[in-house]
Structure 1
């Protein structure tokens, strides 16, 4: 009996996976994007606008958001909000609804890169600020916009990373955050279903942005990067990443991965993570990089 029930459940899951839901066209939709001033957020806003969406550009600094809004023209507006402030995000959501009449899609994109230190040496404030922005910032974004998304039966996309399942050596707070974002997206997917709304997560590899440049700015981080095959660290363009996310939104997909190599690693993550951990444990350059990072962190600033 239990086996029969399990097989029936598996059959229904497969059927849902191969049945495409109706296309959720972005034409005329209101897309609320955090971290929209530059990098992936700005590129996503531009590409969404090309698809006919109206875009609410949200970020910490108003001036670059206003410049982007002016560049895009009709159907774009700037809203100042720091994702570490629930009050500011709530005001941005309220103002976006007042401006556009609602919110259909949320892209929780704002994020920062931590310094390349070990768990033993990273500054406590730096660790907690990364989690505050990269995980709790996405939670606050969801909470502020959720009433509008439920009303429109819209879609929420949380911007995750391969670090949701990659080893977070020298980037622990970022990896911790992205693992948490994955769980938040999975939870939302189930909780929103009865309301006709959907949620998903983007598992993205390295992107040619300031965030990636900051993350690998020092020699220790570069050593970690060089310990894995180059195909896994080659940067994709922000346009490619933005289009992948927007395509997933239009499919109401529960997940999207880019570039192409992420998908098989994600599918076999139990093997992927075990192999990766073993490689990093036994790579002499990685262990040297960890030691160097620890020494550098303990040296007084000049």
Structure 2
């Protein structure tokens, strides 16, 4: 097993039963970390922890449950003696629908899981992470920097994560605790596949040039996350063009009034504005 500065560190990851969280856990375990996997799917997260072997551990908890998260974090800290880092990664995509068409409960569910779930995760872990002068990593998205019609709740949540992370970074600077924000393009997860299946107009993503638009593998995203945790990075990203997109967000915003004139986007909005 390859070791690194992460050897023996206790790292808690939400949304760890599959996707980016699962891939990140595997990479961290390879580096000698003591990974703690959290997910609302108890059977799946226990299975993943068993695959990783000792010293991986699994807990069934939903990130919408603040009391449950606090109990889990306290138990992890008691059993493992500490929490060196927390990765707030759990998320859902929600439906592809316009703001006028989306069911209010579905919109609010995305905010509840993707944004408030990050807040609850960080708040529950923070006393333990601060005690270690540790590291907090939150999974945002390029959706924080570009307009995302038909998935407004997802974009709002990811932009909120970015703003929350930047504020927290400043608040914690004097403690030695560091904060990172992860930005990815499309990643080949169940979340992204669900979006593509929801509306045919999105299926063209997998036909875009591989270097630019096709979803990257979860293994590639997990490798980026693990490297970011090891180096306590301010930002984590993949693929290679994401930093340029983030840097260009202000000039790109000038094109917002013209975006709806793009035929493919106009068709997507029309399709997403229909019930069901």
- Give the TM-score, by structure 1 length: 0.86
Instruction: Tell whether 2:38 aligns with 1:73.
Output: no
1:290 counterpart = 2:269: yes
User: How much is the aligned-residue C-alpha RMSD, in angstroms?
Assistant: 1.9
Deviations 1:129-164 (A, max 9, x none): 000000000000000000000001100000010000
2:173 is matched with 193
Does residue 164 in structure 1 map to residue 141 in structure 2? Answer: no
Give 1:233 deviation, angstroms: 2.5
Gaps of 5+ in 2: none
Q: Secondary structure at the match of 1:240?
A: helix
Shift of 1:195: 0.8
Secondary structure at the aligned position of 1:253 is classed as coil
Greater Cα shift, 66-75 or 227-236: 227-236
Q: Does 1:130 align with 2:82?
A: no
Take 2:234 and 2:148, find their aligned partners in 1: how far apart are those partners?
24
Among 37, 44, 51, the residue aligned to 1:64: 44
Partner of 1:20: none
- What CA deviation, in whole Å up to 9, does each residue of 1:172-206 have, x standing for no partner? 00000000000111011111111111001001111
- Check whether the contact 2:91–2:114 (CA below 8 A) recurs between aligned residues: yes
Q: Secondary structure at the match of 1:74?
A: coil
Q: Distance in 2 between matches of 1:242 and 1:257?
A: 10
Deviation by residue 1:274-298 (Cα, 9 ceiling, x = unmatched): 34x355321122212212222244x
Greater radius of gyration (CA): 1
Q: Aligned to 1:55, what secondary structure does the other structure show?
A: strand
Identify which range, 63-72 or 164-173, moves more after superposition: 63-72
The aligned counterpart of 1:36 is 16
Maintained 8 Å contact 1:182/1:201: yes
Distance in 2 separating the partners of 1:38 and 1:227? 24
Which runs of 5 or more residues in structure 1 are unaligned?
A: 1-23, 298-302
1:218 aligns with 2:213: no
CA change 1:74–1:226 in 2 (3 A) is: closer
SS at match of 1:111: coil
CA distance in 1, matches of 2:96, 2:85: 33
Q: CA deviation at 1:73?
A: 1.3
Count of residue correspondences: 273
**Mapped contact 1:154–1:198 kept (Cα < 8 A):** yes
1:7 corresponds in structure 2 to none
1:155–1:198 Cα contact (<8 Å) kept: yes
Distance 1:230 1:74 in 2: 37
Corresponding residue number in structure 2 for 1:118: 98
Corresponding residue number in structure 2 for 1:87: 67
SS of the equivalent of 2:179 reads strand
| TM-score of the aligned structures, taking structure 2 as reference length | 0.93
SS in structure 1 of the partner of residue 62 of structure 2: coil
Verify: 1:101 aligned to 2:81, yes or no. Answer: yes
The within-5 A match list for 1:196-211 is: 196-211=176-191
Aligned: 1:177 with 2:157: yes
Cα distance change of structure 1 residues 169 and 225 upon mapping to structure 2, 3 Å threshold: farther
Q: Compare the two structures and name the one with the higher helix fraction.
A: 1
